[in-house]
């Protein structure tokens, strides 16, 4: 039978808990009870000041209340709120493979390009040794030298286009006339 809050609960035999000198009651229990009272007082005062008025979701039912228990509810809410898409590793590698050329085009040094391609290849090879967790892994490692050669060709083509655009935007220079003597 549960003991009401205002009644004393019997202490276990041999309990050495400190007692309040004034009341003779358990000091820990009295401190917790005072703390709960203090918290309730703070909430009541905040309500009187109107600090809980116009909160988002006021008057609406709590979302997901009464549904079946999901131990990963907080992960799902975080993913929805932050718009995080969790995709299988094989699909992520496909996306990375598609975006790799664009990433490489933003780099300026061949050593950095080689490092990025080698890192990508390491992830692909590591994925081959993992247990499959979704669609099959069809992404293949890239040949570093071929990828670097393609990067160099794209960079040269980009530089040529930029030079051509600059020439097209530049007004023609007037021809200089070298020293001409006037004869009059």
Q: Number of structural domains, the chain?
A: 2
Would you say residue 125 lies in a domain? yes
Q: Which of 150, 140, 160, 156 is nearest to 114 (CA)?
A: 150
Do 107 and 161 lie in one domain? The reply is: yes
Better-predicted residue by pLDDT, 39 or 3: 39
Would you say residue 37 lies in a domain? yes
**Of 14-28, 66-80, 142-156, where does the model show the most confidence?**
142-156
Would you say residue 7 lies in a domain? no
| Torsional sign, CA 33, 35, 41, 44 | negative
Q: How much of the chain, in percent, has pLDDT values that exceed 70?
A: 78
pLDDT tens for residues 25-44? Answer: 677 777 777 788 888 889 99
> Domain range for residue 139?
89-168
Do 159 and 100 lie in one domain? The reply is: yes
Would you say residue 30 lies in a domain? yes
Would you say residue 150 lies in a domain? yes
Confidence bin at 101 (pLDDT 50/70/90): very high
The tokens of 9 are what?
């609960």
Would you say residue 177 lies in a domain? no
């Amino acid at each position: 039978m549960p003991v009401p809050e205002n009644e004393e609960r019997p202490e276990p035999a041999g309990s050495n808990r400190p007692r309040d000198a004034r009341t003779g009651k358990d000091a820990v229990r009295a401190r917790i009870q005072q703390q709960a009272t203090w918290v309730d007082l703070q909430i009541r005062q905040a309500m009187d000041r109107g600090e809980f008025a116009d909160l988002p979701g006021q008057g609406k039912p709590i979302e997901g209340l009464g549904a079946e228990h999901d131990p990963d509810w907080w992960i799902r809410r975080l993913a929805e709120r932050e718009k995080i898409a969790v995709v299988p590793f094989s699909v992520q590698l496909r996306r990375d493979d598609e975006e790799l050329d664009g990433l490489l085009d933003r780099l300026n040094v061949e050593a950095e390009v080689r490092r990025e391609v080698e890192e990508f290849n390491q992830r692909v090879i590591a994925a081959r040794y993992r247990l499959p967790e979704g669609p099959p892994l069809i992404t293949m490692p890239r040949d570093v030298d071929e990828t670097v050669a393609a990067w160099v060709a794209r960079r040269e083509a980009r530089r040529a286009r930029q030079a051509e655009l600059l020439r097209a935007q530049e007004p023609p220079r007037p021809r200089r006339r070298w020293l001409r003597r006037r004869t009059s």
